[in-house]
A = this chain, B = another copy of it.
Amino acid sequence: MSVENKPELYTSLSPALLNLYDINSSIVVIIDVLRATSTIAAALYNGAKEVIPVNNVSDCIQIGKAMNAITAGERDGKVAEGLEYGNSPFEYPRSFIENKTLVLTTTNGTKLLHMANNNGAAEIVTGSFANLDAICDYLIKMNKPVLLACSAWKDKINIEDTMFAGAVVHQIKQHFNINCDASKMAEGLYLSAQPDLFEFMKIQQASHFLRLSGFGLEKDLRHCLTPNTANVLPIFKEGKLICRK
């Protein structure tokens, strides 16, 4: 069985590990399951014109004003001061978000996206369980090197992003050459969390489970762990995430 013709796939479990990987010819999948990349998928699925990921709250307010856009974001799991909306997929139904621009800043996900962009990623897309199949189909079709990049929590590895990376690995591994222990560990984690990812997070008392369920966000947690609720492919072009047609 030849592996030479298959592109490489790696998984980075923390932004602090991103620079170990050469991404100049890779598609980088930014993963922030709770909740940035789930919310990006939901907003675009529900007809948002675009999502502009920004690094900090002041940029968010400034760009939001200049573009007459919705400003949203969180710090430490709560709506950041000065912004209008938070980081929950449920805040962005079609009736509200259709044809609008969302400017978004989050603790981990938007930061990692800009890191990957500054590190010269060939292409950036965002992934979450909400758009699992869209991501997998795209990666198989493109047949290019892939880095699955987990946003983690302030650089500390987390279960949910690793689990999503594992779900992708499990679904597409026969199309890639994977010499990467992190990818294998992620797949194992995902398989052991099946069939009920929410229950797994609860039993494990995952750090983000405790953080979000403490804010009464169990509904968000369940939703963000459900596959294919917003099956679009958000792609980063000229500073904006748009839906790939």
Chain A positions within 8 Å of B, measured between CB atoms, are: 13-14, 16-17, 20, 154-159, 162, 179-182, 184-185, 188-189, 192, 204-208, 210
Contact = CB atoms under 8 A, between A and B. Distances in A.
A189 B157 CA distance: 15
- Copies assembled: 2
Nearest to A153: B181
Is chain A's interface secondary structure helix, strand, loop, or mixed overall?
helix
A179 B210 contact: yes
Contact of A17 (B157, B179, B180, B205): B157
Contacts of A158: 181
Given A179-B205, A184-B204, 15 more contacts: A13-B13, A14-B14, A16-B17, A16-B20, A156-B180, A156-B181, A156-B182, A162-B185, A181-B204, A184-B205, A185-B189, A188-B189, A188-B204, A189-B189, A192-B192
Interface centre among A17, A154, A204 (most CB of B within 10 A): A17
Contacts of A206: 181, 184
A16 B157 CA distance: 12
A16 B15 CA distance: 10
B155 A180 contact: no
A182 B156 CA distance: 8
A192 B182 contact: no
A188 B181 contact: no
Contacts of A204: 181, 184, 188
A17 B156 contact: yes
A182 B205 CA distance: 12
A34 B188 CA distance: 21
A53 B218 CA distance: 48
A189 B184 CA distance: 10
